[in-house]
Structure 1
Amino acid sequence: MINNFKKSVLAASIVAFSTTVIAQESLRLGHYFPAEDFRGKTAQYFADAVDQELFDIQVYPSESLVRGRDGFMATARGSVDIYSLFGGYAVGSVDLMRIFTIPFPPDEFTDSKLLEFANDERTLDILDEEFERSNVKLLGFINSSGQTTVFLADSIDSLEDLRGKRIRGVGGYTDPALQDLGSSVVFMSAAEQFLQLQTGGVDGVITTDSSYANLGLSEVAPVMMDGSIVRTPYPLIMNKRKWDRLSSDQQEALMTAAAETVAWSIENFEEESERLGEKVRSEASEVYALSDEDLDQASQIRNKYLQQFSDEYGDEGERLVELFNEYL
């Protein structure tokens, strides 16, 4: 009878152990985009691509869990497990992310080129250690901002007309570039843009075509500047302590899903970008094309901050600038 009791205990222990091994890990994935936004769809794609036997991922869109600008620190603290973040929001904690905020990128630096550069193993090797110092694991760069430009309440005739205007910035070198042009930089979340434009809190905003279309900003900012002021990737980040507690199989599953999401995003974003571009141009009442003089000024500003980045961040900065130029 004692032997039977021992067998029962052993059998129960095996069942319990097996249950522990296969139990799903619950994770909260936050982002600040509407669910129907392509960036929201990309975050959902990742959640769906993860092995469902290993993870139960709940997605919280539209800042319903954490505000976009707070996403990095909230992930570092563990208030959220995973976050899809605009790269410019990470520069306060990861200085080297400024390479993705170089203002006025040339037209040949397309969304697909940006994601190739961001996910290049040489780029990731440099950035991984920087992220981990902030208790954040970088899973990959899963999306692009697409065309990100200035949308204004009133017409302009040149870049010089931005002088004196209050414009919503997006972080990194884009903000001092605005100041070089004589603008005042105002900080706000994506959700605040409509109200701030409507009430005159700002004269313009730097934002994506996607946000412009999905937030109905044409009602309050009918003027758009043609061409990107910045083109920035979206890192998918995870709380490092949470990552370290996962099994190797679970970690591999997350990295596999991230890689699949990057491939899906690259494959589908060009079509989405074209659709959004057409929609934005149809909604904006005026599109300002940069003059040759504007383009020269923009090029000088871009080169200024590439050089500044290289000077400020030593060998790693120089290497990232080399890689940036390689992808041009």
Structure 2
Amino acid sequence: MKAKQVYVIIVLMVMLGFVAGFSAPAWAKAKPIEIVFSTYMPTSYEYLVLPLKHFAEKVEKQSEGRLRFKFYHSGQLYKGKEEFAALERGDIDMTAPLDIYNTGIVPELGISNLPFMWSNPESLQRTLDAGLWDLGINGELLKHNMVVLGVAAGGPYQIYSKKHPVCTPRDMEGKKWGISGSTASKATELLGGAPTTMSSGELYLALQRGTIDGCTRPLITGLGRKLYEVVEHLSVTNMAYFCSFLAINKKKWDSLPEDVQEIMKKAAKERNQEQLHRLLAFMKKAIKLYQDKGVKVHIATQEELAKFKEKMAPVYDWWLTKVPDGKKYIEFAETHN
């Protein structure tokens, strides 16, 4: 009798296991989908890189292991200006390119770099969250096989100078400035300065030798390049910005289950906010670091910023010749910042 009971129990266990095998969801047995994520940014750029890592971790966890990220940083796969094309080709699945690196492909991406449009990172992020890129940029990027999941303020440009602080437009007159990009060049000319296009790697020696009197760069670049050793003044004007946009290859996106897509969209929004909070904290810390290094820091007032912006109308007009539908971006920004 006991042997018969044992036999029945064994049969039931086998049957339950058989049924469970059929009732388990297909993804539970499937191999995880691999996402190759590449960024040129080094891990020392914490406020930019950590939100990306946290995005990947959230998606892995919330998808219950259906997605697995292979995360490459510090240009291990591609440099900053190579990421866009690599994503378009499908050589990588995801990246977070900088808008200013790709204005030659999509001119509208230059909206964040217009001088003195936003007084602080929060106002830029508000404009982005309100749908600035929905005016057409997302559609243009879709033509390049990429789906934008989120856009985050990457950091404002500040003014570094050797001998004199920059508090008014007149303070830039008659001096040579190391800048990056055509928009910054136009703005510098309007302020009476002589612009010289330079990579960030050239700034230190140029300042040290007196080839230039100052430069415009984000705080993170100034710290990374140790500009505090060769300048005396830093003017915090939030002159212009760059953004990083979280994007995935269109073919890869279309291959993902709908619920996973929703998980990624939600995590991307959270990444935007995390980057903003980390950026604001970094800016406070960076300003103190410059001061500790002996740099005299001037934080521009709203009145001072208004005087700078008054000079910028010709830059906006010039930009509109490059971006025929740019007016709607400017009007949207002015309404939502």
TM-score (norm 1): 0.77
Distance 2:211 2:255 in 1: 45
Structure 2 contact 120–238 (Cα < 8 Å) conserved:
no
Distance 1:233 1:38 in 2: 13
Distance 1:80 1:191 in 2: 27
Distance 1:59 1:202 in 2: 39
User: Are residues 1:275 and 2:301 paired?
Assistant: no
Distance 1:291 1:117 in 2: 22
Cα 1:236/1:291, change in 2 over 3 Å: closer
2:247 maps to which of 237, 240, 264: 237
Structure 1 contact 168–202 (Cα < 8 Å) conserved:
no
The match for 1:88 is 100
The match for 2:110 is 98
1:59 maps to which of 63, 68, 71: 71
User: Are residues 1:50 and 2:59 paired?
Assistant: yes
1:78 maps to which of 65, 78, 90: 90
Alpha-carbon offset, residue 117 of structure 1:
0.7
Distance 2:265 2:70 in 1: 18
Q: Mean Cα displacement is larger for which, 193-202 or 95-104?
A: 193-202
Q: List gaps (5 residues or longer) in structure 2.
A: 1-20
Cα 1:26/1:136, change in 2 over 3 Å: closer
Distance 2:215 2:95 in 1: 24
Distance 2:183 2:335 in 1: 20
Alpha-carbon offset, residue 35 of structure 1:
3.5
Structure 1 contact 32–64 (Cα < 8 Å) conserved:
no
Partner AA of 1:303 in structure 2: A
User: Are residues 1:259 and 2:269 paired?
Assistant: yes
Larger Rg: 2
* SS of equivalent to 1:129: helix
2:328 maps to which of 319, 322, 325: 319
Q: Mean Cα displacement is larger for which, 60-69 or 131-140?
A: 60-69
Q: After superposition, what is the alpha-carbon deviation per residue over 1:177-217, rounded to whole angstroms, capped at 9, x for unaligned?
A: 234444233242x5665466557776544221123234432
The match for 1:168 is 179
User: Structure 1 vs Structure 2: percent identity of aligned residues?
Assistant: 18
* SS of equivalent to 1:56: strand
Cα 1:286/1:318, change in 2 over 3 Å: same
Structure 1 contact 139–235 (Cα < 8 Å) conserved:
yes
2:124 maps to which of 114, 128, 135: 114
Structure 2 contact 165–298 (Cα < 8 Å) conserved:
yes
Cα 1:215/1:37, change in 2 over 3 Å: farther
- State how 1:183-202 maps to structure 2 within 5 Å: 183-188=194-199, 190=200, 193-194=203-204, 197=207
Alpha-carbon offset, residue 93 of structure 1:
1.3
* SS of equivalent to 1:232: strand
The match for 2:217 is 207
Alpha-carbon offset, residue 100 of structure 1:
0.9
Q: List gaps (5 residues or longer) in structure 1.
A: 1-11
Distance 1:196 1:66 in 2: 28
Alpha-carbon offset, residue 103 of structure 1:
0.9
Structure 1 contact 178–184 (Cα < 8 Å) conserved:
yes
CA-atom RMSD in angstroms: 3.7
Number of equivalent positions: 312
Distance 2:73 2:170 in 1: 35
Alpha-carbon offset, residue 54 of structure 1:
2.9
* SS of equivalent to 1:75: helix
Distance 1:104 1:240 in 2: 34
* SS of equivalent to 2:52: helix
Cα 1:263/1:229, change in 2 over 3 Å: closer
* SS of equivalent to 1:51: helix
The match for 1:7 is none
* SS of equivalent to 2:149: strand
